[in-house]
Structure 1
Amino acid sequence: MKTNTLEFDAQALREKILDLAMRGKLVPQDPNDEPASVLLEKIKAEKEQLIKEKKIKKSKPLAPITDDEKPFDIPDSWEWVRFGDVGLLKNGKTPKKEDISSDNIYPYFKVKDMNNNNLYMENAKNWVGEKYSRQVMPKNTIIFPKNGGAILTAKKRILTQDSLVDLNTGGLIPYNDLNHKFIFYLFLSLDIKDFVKGSAVPTINSKKLKETLVPLPPLEEQSRIAAKIAQLFALLRKVESSTQQYAKLQTLMKSKVLDLAMRGKLVEQDPHDEPASVLLEKIKAEKRKMIKEKKIKKSKPLPPITDDEKP
C-alpha cells in the first residue's frame, strides 16, 4: 500500500458519484416531492404546446419501455424514460465567414471553444447576427461534440445565453419542466462511446441516443442531486489541484536533494577520508592497466579544468 503519494483516480470517483446519483443513492428521497409521473405529464403538455406553436415538429413516439430493458432498480417516486423524453436534440449550423464578427447579437461557438470554457460557455470570440436567429440554441442548452475525433473527449458544456454552435456540435435542449443542471449530469453519466458510429470520421448516432433508457427523479430531487454533485465535483477539483502541487513539490525536493549532494552539503565531511585527489591517481592507474591489457584504447587526454569553469 502506498503511503508516500497522493495519487488517486479522480475520473473513477466522478463516475461513481454519477452512478450513485442516477440510482437514487446520492441524496435522500422526500415523500413530499411531486412524483416524476406527474412531471412526465407536464412535459407531455409542454411538447404538445410547442408542436401547436410550430416551434418543434411532431415526431414519431418513442417505443414503450419494457421491464426487461430496465438495467437497475430506482426509487418508487422516479420513472424510467427514454433520453429523447428529457429534451430536444438539435444540430448546429456553421455560418458563412462574412457573417462572423467580434461584436454581434449571438455568441458563436466551435467545438474547440469547449476547451476554453469549463462548465459554462461564457468566453465567446465570435458572434453572429439576426440572420441566424432560427438556428441559435437557447440558454441552458447542453452542447457536445457531434462529429469528429472530439466526440471521444466526452465534453459537455452549458450555454449561458442564446447561441449558435457549429455543424460539428450538437445540442440537447432540456424541457422547461426539468432542472437543466440535473439533465447535464444525467447526460454526463452516459458513456458517449456507446453512441458513436463510423471510424474514419466518428459521429453520434442520434437515434440510439434518443432511445436510451435514463432514470428521471422528481423535480425537487433533481435540484438536490445536481447541487450535491456540484459540491462533490468541486471537492474533487481541490484534491486534484493539491495532488498536482504535491507532485511538483516532490520533484522539487528530489532536485534539491541531488543538488545538495553534488555540492557536498547533504552529509558531513570526515577529515579521515582519503581525499579525491588520491582516488583520481588510482583511476589513472586503472586506466593505464586496462590500456596495457588492451581492454580499452588509449584516447586523447581531456582538457585541463580551469577555475572559470567551476560552477
Structure 2
Amino acid sequence: MTSKVGIPATWTMTNVEAVSEAILSGSGFPKEFQGDTDGDYPFAKVGDISQVFRAGRKVINSAGNYISEQIRKKINARAFPPGTIVFPKIGEAPRNNYRVINSVEMIFDNNVMGIVPKNELVDKDYLYYYLTTRDFGELAVATAVPSIRKGDVGSIAFPLAPLNEQRRIVSKIEELFSDLDEGEAALRRVQSLLASYRQAVLKAAVTGELTKAWRETNQHRLESGEALLQRILQARREQWNGRGQYQEPQPPDIDELPDLPEGWVWASIDQLFNVYVGSTPSRKEPSYWGGDIPWVSSGEVAFCRISDTKEKITRQGYENSSVKLHPKGTVLLAMIGEGRTRGQAAILDIEACHNQNSASIRVSETDIPPGYIYYLLMYSYEQNRRMGQGGNQPALNGMKIKGLTVPLAPLEEMKEIVNQIEIISSRIDALEIWCKTELARSATLRQSILKAAFSGKLVLQDPGDEPASVLLERIQAARPSPSPSKPTSRTGAKTQPKVQPTLWESS
C-alpha cells in the first residue's frame, strides 16, 4: 500500500529539520593553534573529510590537527557529538558532495556544517544514506563565495520510515554496497595491473626486450642505429638554411646510461629532430581567433593523437605572431604544469600550431616513426616530469627537451616495436574500457539501490512497526516547540527553501 507521494502508507514525508537535534556550523581555527597531532579533540578541515570520503569510507574519527580542552574553551569551539553527519558548506567544495559521519566527539572548522540526528526518531545511517542522494552543490547559494545555509539544509524533504524499518533498510543497503565494494575493488586492482603491464611493455620496447626474437631473425638485413643516426645528422647539415654557421647538435652523455642491444645507439632529441616552443597570438585581437588554422593548447596534449583542436586561429593571427605550423607526425610534449599535464605527449594527425606551454618535436621530418618517440615519452613520463621540477612553476624547457636521450634502434626494428606496442595496447585499452564501464555500472546500481530504499521497495514493510507519522507526533509532543526561524532578509520575510531533486532524478 503506497501513499500519494510514492512512499508506503506507514511512512511520512517530513524534512531534515524535523528529524534533527541541531544543524551545526563549525568553528574558527586560528593558525597559532594548528599543527598539533595529539590532544583531546580531533579538529577536522574539509581536506580531512575529503580524504575519508574519497577513500570510500563513511566514518571519520581522526584529523590532521588536534587541540586540548583548554584551547577549545579559549577559542570557543563547539564539539560535534558522535553520529553527526558532516559536509563542506562553503566555496566549490559542496559540489563534490563529500559527507561523512564522525564516530567520536570532534571539532570541525567553519567551512563545515553538521546534522545531528534525533536518534529516537531516525537512524543516523538511514539519514546519511538519504543525504548522499542529494546534490549539495545545487543547494549552495550563488554568491561571490557560494555557501549552504542551515535553513536550506533543514528544509530538505525527507521520507521518514518506521524506525525498525529504517534499520532493516540500512542493513540491506550495507549488505548490497559491501558486495559492490568488493567488485569495485577487484576492478581497481585490474586497472592497476593493466597500468603496470602497459609500463612493463613500454620498458621492454625501449630496452630491446620486446623485439629480441624479431631482431635475432632479421639482424642480417638491418641498418644499424648508428648508421641511421649518421644519415640523419648528414641530412640536417645539408638542409641547414639558418643564420650563421651550422652548429653540431649535442650528443648525450652515455657514461651512466645502460647498455643497449647490438645495433642500437644512444642519441639525443637534439641530434635527431628540430624542436620548437610554441606561442599564442594576442588574445586582445579578436581577428586573430576563430579561423581555420588548428591551434593546440597544452591541455590537449594528453597521451593521444590530435585530429582536431578546441581553438583555431586566423591567417592574420598566424602572420602576426611567432607561431609555426607543424606537419603531421610531429610529436608534442607538454612542458608546464603542476598537475598531470607536464610531460604528456601527443602525435599530430593534422598540421597544427601550439601554445608556448608545449614543444614540438618534428619527428616526421625523418624516417623515424613518430609512434616510437611518442611511446618513449610515455615510458619516461615520470622521469621527464622530475626534470621539470623546481622554481615557482614546475616546467620543462626547450633545452631540457633537446637533451632527452633516445635509444635509437634500427629503423625497421623501431617500426616493428611500434607495431607490437599497438597490438598489445589495443588489448589493454579494451580491458581498461571494460573496467570503466563496469565501475560506472556499479555506481548506477548504487543509485538504483538507494532509489528503491527511499521509496519503500528495498525491504518488506512489517505491519507491526509503529507508523512513522505516529512516532513523529509522539516525539514532537514530548519536546518543547522550537523557536521561530529568524527572518533572513531585511524586510523580515523568510526565504523560500530550495527543493532539491535526488541524484537519480537529476541524472
Regarding TM over 0.5, the answer is yes
Give the counterpart of 1:180 among 359, 364, 370: 370
Alignment equivalent of 1:26, drawn from 210, 220, 227 = 210
Decide whether aligned partners of structure 1 residues 255 and 299 sit closer, same or farther in structure 2, where only a CA change above 3 A counts: farther
**Distance in 2 of aligned mates of 1:88 and 1:124:** 26
Q: Deviations over 1:182-208 (max 9, x none)?
A: 122122222222321543222214334
- TM-score, normalised to structure 2, is 0.48
Aligned counterparts, 1:151-300, within 5 A = 152-174=341-363, 175-190=365-380, 191-257=383-449, 259-260=451-452, 275-277=464-466, 298-300=479-481
Aligned partner (choices 61, 65, 86) of residue 272 of structure 2: 86
Aligned residue in 1 for 2:139: none
> Following the alignment from structure 1 to structure 2, what is the Cα–Cα distance between the partners of residues 95 and 128?
10
1:58 partnered with 2:242: no
1:277 is paired with a residue of what secondary structure? Answer: coil
- Could you say if the C-alpha distance between residues 187 and 274 of structure 1 is closer, same or farther in structure 2, counting changes exceeding 3 Å? closer
Give the Cα separation in 1 of the matches to 2:468 and 2:368: 79
Task: Give yes or no for contact 2:323–2:354 (8 Å, CA) kept in 1.
Answer: no
Paired position in structure 1 for 2:298: 111
The answer as to whether partners of 1:151 and 1:203 remain within 8 angstroms in 2 is no
In the alignment, is residue 76 of structure 1 matched against residue 257 of structure 2?
no
Deviation string for 1:103-147 (max 9, x for gaps)? Answer: 44x3222323446x9322423531332626983223221112233
1:189–1:112 CA distance, 2 compared to 1 (3 A): same
Contact 2:304-2:347 within 8 A present in 1 as well: no
- Distance in 2, matches of 1:22 and 1:56, equals 36
Secondary structure of 1:90 counterpart: strand
> Number of paired residues?
284
**Residues 138 and 59 of structure 1, relative CA distance in 2, 3 Å threshold:** farther
Counterpart CA distance in 2 for 1:275 and 1:134 is: 77
- Match for 2:306: what amino acid? Y
Question: CA separation in 2, counterparts of 1:147 and 1:243?
Answer: 31
Which residue does the alignment assign to 1:304?
Answer: none
Change (3 A) 1:139 1:281: closer
Q: Structure 1: 5+ residue runs without aligned partners?
A: 292-296, 302-311
Q: Displacement, 1:210?
A: 2.6
Could you tell me the percent identity over the aligned residues?
Answer: 21
The DSSP-based 3-state class of the residue aligned with 1:94 is: coil
Q: Residue 6 of structure 1 is aligned with which of 181, 187, 192? A: 187
The letter of the residue matching 1:62 is Q
Contact 2:295 2:352 in 1 (8 A): yes
* Aligned 8 A contact 1:196 1:202 in 2: yes
Higher relative contact order (CA 8 A, sep 6+): 1
The one-letter code of the counterpart of 2:187 is L
Match of residue 123 from structure 1: 309
Task: Tell me the equivalent position of 2:45.
Answer: none
- Which consecutive unaligned segments of at least 5 residues does structure 2 have? 1-180, 483-507
CA, structure 1 residues 92+54, in 2 after alignment: closer, same or farther (shift >3 Å)?
Answer: same
Question: How far is 1:227 from its partner?
Answer: 1.9
Q: Equivalent of 2:324, from 127, 135, 150?
A: 135
Letter in 1 for 2:228: L
Distance 1:160 1:145, change over 3 A: same
**Residues 159-203 of structure 1 deviation map (CA, whole Å, 9 limit, x = unaligned):** 233322222221111241211221221222222223215432222
For 2:263, what is the secondary structure of its paired residue? Answer: coil
Tell me the residue number matched to 1:309.
Answer: none
CA distance in 1, matches of 2:294, 2:244: 23
Q: Which amino acid aligns with 1:147?
A: I
CA pair 59-150 structure 1, distance change in 2 beyond 3 A: farther
| TM-score, normalisation: structure 1 | 0.74
Q: What displacement does 1:224 show?
A: 1.4
8 A Cα contact 1:70 1:213, kept in partner: no
The 1:254/1:222 distance shift into structure 2, 3 A limit, reads same
Shift of 1:257: 4.2
Residue aligned with 2:362, SS: strand
Alignment partner of 1:144 out of 315, 333, 341 = 333
